Amino acid sequence: MLTIGALGKKTGTKVQTVRYYEQIGLMPEPGRTEGGQRRYGDAELDRLSFIRHARQLGFPLEAIRELLDLSDNPDCSCAEADSIARRQLKQVEQRMARLEALRTELQRMVHECSGGNTSECRVLEVLRDHSECLTNHEEIGA
């Protein structure tokens, strides 16, 4: 049996995050000692590792909840898990495309800067006047 600190250390998860996952129902209520300390076993370690890896892959909490529900029902078809993963992949690809457009725009700004005075600085000019920008990046960063 593991304490919450040991569980967190083994999975690379902060104690506050473990408690949060318990509060929102991603992690089950742990067993407790007579003194009230949380105790976790292999099942909780496996579940938290699952959650942690899913978060590292960028899955939102609601998708993780769906994946955990599927994982808890091993006789179900994996088509739904595949669908959730495909949805996440699409979102990642869209983010990557937006980031690539930002990268291109920033490279252009830097390349066009002559290194003279700030009154003639292309970087400052583009930032001041959005019409000078060649990339539509309104969805990014806000």
* Residue 132 confidence (pLDDT) above 70: no
Of all residues in the chain, the percent with pLDDT exceeding 70 is 91
Cα end-to-end span (Å), the chain: 43
* Residue 129 confidence (pLDDT) above 90: no
Task: Could you please state the CATH topology (level 3) that the domain comprising 4-71 is classified under.
Answer: Multidrug-efflux Transporter Regulator; Chain: A; Domain 2 (1.10.1660)
The whole-angstrom separation of Cα 26 and Cα 13 is 14
Average model confidence (pLDDT) across the chain: 89
Mean pLDDT check: name the lowest of 13-17, 24-28, 33-37, 105-109: 105-109
CA 63, 47, 87 angle in degrees (round to 5)? 20
The whole-angstrom separation of Cα 34 and Cα 47 is 24
Q: What is the rounded average pLDDT of the residues 14-43?
A: 94
The whole-angstrom separation of Cα 118 and Cα 122 is 8
The whole-angstrom separation of Cα 63 and Cα 49 is 15
- Tell me if residue 49 falls in helix, strand or coil: helix
Q: Where are the domains of the chain?
A: 4-71, 89-132
> Containing H/E element for 31?
strand 31-32
Q: Which tokens in the block code for residue 28? A: 């089950």
Q: What is the pLDDT of residue 142?
A: 43
pLDDT digits 0-9 by tens, 34-87: 999 999 999 999 999 999 999 999 999 999 999 999 999 989 899 999 999 999
pLDDT digits 0-9 by tens, 112-128: 877 778 877 878 887 88
